[in-house]
Amino acid sequence: MNGSIGRLFVLVLLLFGVLVFASSWWTVFGSEGLRDNTYNRRELLAEQLIKRGLIRADDGKVLARSPAQPQKRFGRRYPEGPLFAHAVGCTSIDRGRSGLEEYYNDPLTGRATNAIDAVSRLLGPSKVGDDLRTTLSEKAQQVATDALDSRQQRGAVVAMELKTGAVKVLAAKPSFDPNADDCGASLNLATQGLFPPGSTMKAVTASAAIDSGKYQPDSRVSGENGKEISGAPLNNFGNESFGDIDLTFALTNSVNTVWAEVGEKLGKRTMADYMERFGFYEDPPMDYPDAQMVPSGVNKGRRRLVRPTSDRVDIGRVAIGQGDLEVTPLQMASVAQTIGNGGVRMEPRLVQKVVDPDGRTVDEPLPEEAERVMSGDSAAKVADMMKNVVKEGTGTAAALEGVDVAGKTGTAEVNLQGLNDPWFIGFTDRYAVAVVFERVQGGTGGTIAAPVAKAVLERLGE
Amino acid sequence: MSARNRELMALIPASLLLTAGFAAIFIQQSERLSDVSLTYGAIFLLLCLAGHFLIRFTLPYADPYVFPLVSVLACFGLVVVYRIDETLAREQAQWFVVGLALFAATILLLRDFRVLERYRYTIALVGLLLLLLPRVPGIGQQVNGAYLGVKLGPIAFQPAEFGKIAIIIFLAAYLRDTRQVLVQGRKLGPITVPQLKHLGPLLVVWGAAMFMLVFIRDLGSSLMYFGGFLALLYVATNRLSFVAIGMGLFALGAWFFASTVSHVKDRIEIRNNPFNPDWVEKEGYQIAQSLFAQADGGLFGTGFGASLLRGPSGETLIPAPHTDLIYAVIVNEVGLVGACGLLLVYLLLIERGFKIAMISGDSFSKLLASGLTAVVALQVFVIVGGVTKVIPLTGVTLPFVSYGGSSILANFVLVALLLLVSDRARRPQGATARRGLR
């Protein structure tokens, strides 16, 4: 009998081998798929046990905090409600995360993001996350939000610091209440809203014209109404006709036919080159979830944007912000920031530092240069032209006392019944701003958007 | 060092393990070290010592490793149960005291365990009645579709845990008598087919297993019983053909019921595809959560007390974490490494069990020891295999580790029987059994 007992033990060994194999499969080799399984809520539930870090405005005001709840859990409250909802985002078990809550989830939940931290946290998993100090200005955000709320149309305002790309205002209407359960329910028009840029695009065309060396601010071009562009006549605003006028005058008075011709003469390659340098055709390099940002460019109704070099693109009309060109407010704020910053485009930044629970700064997302778009000299020339727009052109409503404001208005016609998307982009010596409203009856950039830009720039300048 | 002193020494690591385990949980839960962990360790050591001295005075020649191995399993289980629910751990500790008393009673009452042979049919009858109790209206309880529990007033217990011991005793006694005649069957080519009159009782056992599959509706326990039966049959006859015939019959029956009885069919369906959206949040929830917990554990686990056990409203993420799915919690907290360690302890215990069977002098002792050992091995396989999706998940406890009074009491009786067999087998020639306490 002993032989069969021995063989029985061998069988038991084999069976236990199967158990060891199965255990190692689920714990090690096949665990990845289980962790990513949609029905696995462990990670989200585990995060509830961590006291997420605070999110603060640039002056230290708390925008998001984690009050303690029963069962050693933490909730998430946003004391400012809808004011910062798009920028800060929210976090919820059922709907996932958005905004900074998503982008900075690792530091907010105390997960080590660099080697030194990882070593110090080997001693035990941290139950308290790091705090975020954002670049957002509460006062300016409030001004922008009030201005957006004063109209019934949708719209967005983005403001940035010229030198650093620090985002001071990221406001979009409609907003939402992150404390309610509709986390992430609405689009962020500031980063996902696509609008025809209208004449604000002429700032890009002017930059390309001057920096390519083909034009100077005093180069003269015919501003005749009804000039043929790409085989179809193009009209000026109010069908006004001009003779040979210089580019400064043409920008100040936003003469379509001049800038369309300049765009055609520069050619698709040059225009494509400068648009890409300004950041068109790519997701903005902002510290914000990619899923909540869209690139700007020519949109022919397909999922992919059409390059300016394509045969289907009417580059003359793209040069004046038409021809199916669609841009985000963030992109146009970036254009203003670049010109105001001597031709250097900065990566937009929402967070200035990450602070650990002991008060040490563990990460400082420093100002990062995205690209030199043009020479400082060219940028200065374009800036001077844009200052003239505010001094005596279409953008006088943005003028501030004692501060030079440069700008460009835009009145993108949505249909022939006078529905327009009014735009304003501009900058002072410290801040750049972009403002847009959607479909305002008879509104122009100069009358509707410029005053909002002025209010925001004024508040930021205080 | 004498066998008994080796046993005594081996109990120290078990108590240290318990102390360390409780300390880890206290640190995790309240971020401070409490001397309560030392108290628990001391109490546990005292219980172990009580068991040890009982064995020292009554079974001086018994295998010195069985009791320490059981202690390691029990203390490990106590730590895990404590981590899941403090009140359950306190009850579990009380069950250990009762279990130890039953252990002592078994040893003292069955000094000559061979009397069991005489009552084989009575024991078989008791075993079968125990298995059928859960279907008696009024006292039977249905849990997760299977009839395994009995509730008599305030006392709830799982008779199947005791039933398995009764059945093994009966089979060991029965096969000791018939093994010779079973082997002398007719030769059909290379296969020996036993004569029908000898095969009859075995077919009855097969029928009983099938009956349980349908009646108790539990694939796991019928697998356990029938597997134990086949193991004993093989040890008794040394004929693989019998085992093959038996497995074929079981597979046939299982296949038949799997395709006709919806409860069994569902279990298999869920095992094959636990993440089907139709049932992942319902019938498949157990196995899905079990696998998620194991994946969360990884190679080294989260540490004692550090795994995510409860959801927002205080409910446990893994259903029945202290009984059926305790292995998932263990893997979650001590990882693959810890789980392999646990399986290794079981293997060592099983090895000792088979060793006892091998050195036993008479057939009944051999069959009894190997049967009891095989049934422990199968029980571990059925529940760990279920939790790791090797076989359909069924409600069986992890011996000595899972929470549950019936399970602990029955397994202490099982260990007492093993030690009784061992003491007799290792007794030197000429030494007589000492009666009573010295």
Distances from the Cα of A192 to the Cαs of A288, A436, B133, B313, in angstroms? 12, 13, 67, 37
Domain residue limits, chain B = 3-426
B390 → closest Cβ in A6, A7, A18: A18
Which residue in B293, B116, B316, B400 sits closest to A37, CA to CA?
A: B293
Please give the Cα distance from A221 to A209 (Å, whole number): 12
Flag whether residue A40 sits within 8 Å of chain B, measured between CB atoms.
yes
pLDDT at B229 over 70: yes
**What residues of chain B lie within 8 A of the CB of A8, using their CB?**
231, 234-235, 354, 370, 374
- For residue A125, being part of any structural domain is answered with no
DSSP B269-310: HHHH-TT-TTTTTTTTHHHHHHHHHHHHHTTT-S-TT-S--B
CATH number (domain holding residue A158):
3.40.710.10
Distances from the Cα of A153 to the Cαs of A419, A422, A436, A453, in angstroms? 11, 11, 10, 17
**What residues of chain B lie within 8 A of the CB of A18, using their CB?**
385, 390
Find tokens 């705090």 and name the residue.
A131
Please give the Cα distance from A253 to A234 (Å, whole number): 16
Q: Do B390 and A19 touch (CB under 8 A)?
A: yes
Q: Per residue in A270-304, pLDDT tens?
A: 999 999 999 999 999 999 999 899 999 999 887 78
A31 → closest Cβ in B295, B340, B370: B295
B370 → closest Cβ in A8, A23, A40: A8
Angle subtended by helix axes B86-109 and B36-58, to nearest 10:
10
Instruction: Please list, residue by residue across B300-325, b when 16 or more beta carbons sit within 10 angstroms of its beta carbon and e when fewer do.
Output: ebbbbbbbbbbbeeeebbbebbbbbb
pLDDT band with cut points at 50, 70 and 90 for residue B341: very high
Q: What percent of chain B has pLDDT over 90?
A: 19
Q: Do B238 and A1 touch (CB under 8 A)?
A: yes
Mean pLDDT across B166-195: 77
Stated as kind and residue range, the H or E segment containing B364 is helix B363-387
- The structural domain count of chain A equals 1
HEC readout, A236-287: CHHHCCCCEEEHHHHHHCCCHHHHHHHHHHHHHHHHHHHHHHCCCCCCCCCC
Mean pLDDT across B124-139: 78
Please compute, for residue A364, the number of CA atoms within 13 A of its CA located in the half-sphere on the CB side: 5
Distances from the Cα of A25 to the Cαs of B214, B268, B294, in angstroms? 32, 20, 10
Q: Do A26 and B295 touch (CB under 8 A)?
A: yes
Strand partners, B188: B191
Q: Do B314 and A71 touch (CB under 8 A)?
A: yes
The alpha carbon of residue A12 is apart from the nearest alpha carbon of chain B, in Å, by 7
pLDDT band with cut points at 50, 70 and 90 for residue A340: very high
Query: At B90, is the secondary structure helix, strand, or coil?
Result: helix
Q: Which pairing describes strands A369-372 and A344-346: parallel, antiparallel, or unpaired?
A: antiparallel
Q: Do A42 and B331 touch (CB under 8 A)?
A: no
Which residue in A319, A310, A279 sits closest to A197, CA to CA?
A: A319
The alpha carbon of residue B437 is apart from the nearest alpha carbon of chain A, in Å, by 34
Flag whether residue A37 sits within 8 Å of chain B, measured between CB atoms.
yes
Please give the Cα distance from A145 to A84 (Å, whole number): 9
Q: Per residue in B15-70, pLDDT tens?
A: 787 777 777 777 776 655 566 667 777 788 888 889 898 998 888 888 888 999 99
Residue A452's domain comprises 139-351+367-461
- How far the first Cα of chain B sits from its last, in Å, is 21
Among the ranges given (A216-230, B140-154, B155-169), the one the predictor scored with the smallest mean pLDDT = B140-154
ipTM score: 0.89
**Phi, psi angle pair for A403, to nearest 5°:** -125, 135
Q: Do B381 and A31 touch (CB under 8 A)?
A: no
Which residue in B359, B364, B409, B352 sits closest to B169, CA to CA?
A: B364
- For residue A67, being part of any structural domain is answered with no
Residue of A nearest to B350 (CA): A9
pTM recorded for the entire structure: 0.67
Flag whether residue A120 sits within 8 Å of chain B, measured between CB atoms.
no
Please give the Cα distance from B29 to B322 (Å, whole number): 18
Please give the Cα distance from A446 to A379 (Å, whole number): 23
DSSP B19-56: HHHHHHHHHHHHSS--THHHHHHHHHHHHHHHHHHHHH
- For residue A11, being part of any structural domain is answered with no
Stated as kind and residue range, the H or E segment containing A69 is strand A68-69
